[in-house]
Structure formats: C-alpha cells, structure tokens
Structure 1
C-alpha cells in the first residue's frame, strides 16, 4: 500500500471510529475491506488515537476564530492525523504532510476545508 492510500484508509478508519464509535479493530477491518494491512496505515490510526488529547490541545491553540467541536468530522479527522504525522513521524517532511492533508481535504470535503487544513497546519509548524 502506498503512503497516500494508507493515509486515505487511515482517514476513513479514524472517521468511522469518531462517528460510529466502532472499536479500532472493527474499523480497520471495515476500511481495509479484505485488503492487506500496512504498518504505516496502522501506525497512523493507532497512534493518532493514542495521542488524540495532546493533538486536540495543539489544534485548539492553533485554530483561529474556530472551535474544534465546530469543525466538520472530516476536517477534524484530517487535522488530527496530519498533526500526529507532523509531530511524530520524523521521516516525512512537513511540506509533504501538509500537502497530503490538503489533498485529502479536497477529496473528502471541499476547497474551503482544504484552505482551513492548510492554515491550521501552517500555524502548527510556525509554533
């Protein structure tokens, strides 16, 4: 599985967990739909969830004129995963992470969501 596809699957999995309250294993099985899993995908899902509280605090600090609970589920999920990646996956350049997050926002939401994701992640990198 390529990293872009792993990110897409991770967003789908994290979204399912957030919205449907599925257990992690159930959400992974549902998102993979028979596909073989990938270590990067599983890392994104499991560790984003493990560090969710810490990530949310950082997002709250960097949201300008927004509250975390006002964001759409998709935008919030993308921001959480991308913030995890920025903070904890040192092998991926920040620009790549932000670009991937923006593309995911365009795919799963819209252009406005992509702008929001870009701005918030940019604020995090500056901080």
Structure 2
C-alpha cells in the first residue's frame, strides 16, 4: 500500500467536497477513475481518510482553528485546509497508530507538491503547534 498515494487521492476528493455539492462516494469515484491501477489497500486507506475526515469534520476544524492563531478555517486555502484536516484525522482518529512526526512530514510534503510557496511552512506550523500542545 502507498499511504502517500492514498493521502494525495484523499486530498483531491476532500478538495472536491469542499467546493462542490456532492457526496463522498462520488468524489472518491472521480479520483479513483484517474488512478485505475491502484491496489485495494491504497483504495481502502483513501476511503478511510476521506470518510473519517468528513465524519469528524466539526471536531477536526475546531482543533485546527485553535492551533491556527489569527486564521479562520474558511480563510485558509483549500489545499492547506484539507491537508491539515487529513493530518489531524490521522493523529486523532486514524485506525492505524502512526508517529506524529511521520504524519507531519507527509503533510508538509503534500503541501510542497500541491500548495503555494508558503503552504509547507503554514501546515507545519499548525501541526507542530498541535504536537507541542499535547506534550
């Protein structure tokens, strides 16, 4: 399984859900059509990330809002917001325990690939502050 590929596809689906009136299944199917050769474990992890993030969205957004001082969730770029949501889901609700530094590193890499020049620092700052608060 490629967790990175699952995170990339989850980001694409969550981005669609942020801006379109559609169901998670529709967004996931759209993303999967672009990646027909993915294995079943990657597909399942993508579904977990999207559906898990969606089902915990109010709590996840509250966690992010408390960490993102002077930034409202709806003012963040869609990419930064959804990368942060995926990472918070994995840290707090994910079915597989992963070290927080791995989750943050993966989120920063997604931000470098899909976001703006500032995205990686922004996402790292939000997620890093969450870790500091837990300690």
TM-score range, shorter chain: over 0.9
Q: Which residue of 2 aligns with 1:120?
A: 126
Q: Which residue of 2 aligns with 1:102?
A: 108
Shift of 1:113: 0.7
Q: List, as ranges, runs of 4+ consecutive aligned residues in structure 1 with deviation greater than 4 Å.
A: none
Shift of 1:64: 1.8
Higher alpha-carbon deviation: 82-91 or 21-30: 82-91
CA distance in 1, matches of 2:119, 2:132: 20
Structural mapping, 1:49-68, within 5 Å: 49-68=54-73
CA distance in 1, matches of 2:72, 2:28: 28
Structural mapping, 1:1-127, within 5 Å: 1-33=1-33, 35=36, 36=38, 37=40, 38-89=43-94, 90-127=96-133
Could you tell me the TM-score, scaled by structure 2's length? 0.88
Shift of 1:126: 1.4
Shift of 1:111: 2.8
The Cα RMSD (Å) is 1.3
Deviation readout 1:95-121 (Å, 9 max, x if unpaired): 110000001011111230110000000
Paired positions, count: 127
Could you tell me the TM-score, scaled by structure 1's length? 0.94
Shift of 1:75: 0.7
Q: Give ranges in structure 2 of 5+ residues lacking alignment.
A: none
